[in-house]
Amino acid sequence: MKVRVLVRPKEGILDPQGEAVRGALPALGFGGVKTVHVGRLIEMELESADDVDAMCRRLLANPTVEEYEWEVVS
């Protein structure tokens, strides 16, 4: 099966990458962009999704500063 994990900065954590992108969009003429957050997408092919949550907590995300969600995509 294929699992997709989305990792992103926790709410309220400063996100310099997101801020830089937010600053760059108006420069290209895209107005009205209020916030941008940049995260990380991780796709894995696995035999079972049993351990995905543990993988997220122990390695894929740093729970101190990041939150994650995951789904089975196929």
Partner 1 sequence: MRIGVTVFPGSNCDRDALHAVELMGAEPVELWHADADLKGSDAVIVPGGFSYGDYLRPGAIARFARVMGPLEDFARDGGPVLGVCNGFQVLCEAHLLPGALLQNTHMRFACDRVRVRVETKETPWTSGCENGEELTLPIAHNEGNYFADPETLARLEDEGRVVLRYLENPNGSANDIAGVCNEGRNVVGVMPHPERVSDPALGSDEGLKILRSVLAEATV
Residues that bind partner 1 (CB under 8 A): 13-14, 16-17, 19-20, 59-60, 62, 64-65
Smallest gap, in angstroms, from Cβ of residue 57 to partner 1? 12
Closest CA to 32 of 41, 40, 22: 22
**Tokens for 42?**
């991780």
Smallest gap, in angstroms, from Cβ of residue 18 to partner 1? 10
CB nearer to partner 1: give 27 or 59.
59
Under a CB-based contact definition with an 8 Å cutoff, are residues 3 and 50 in contact? Answer: no
In 1-74, alpha helices (H): 16-27, 52-55
CB nearer to partner 1: give 67 or 74.
67
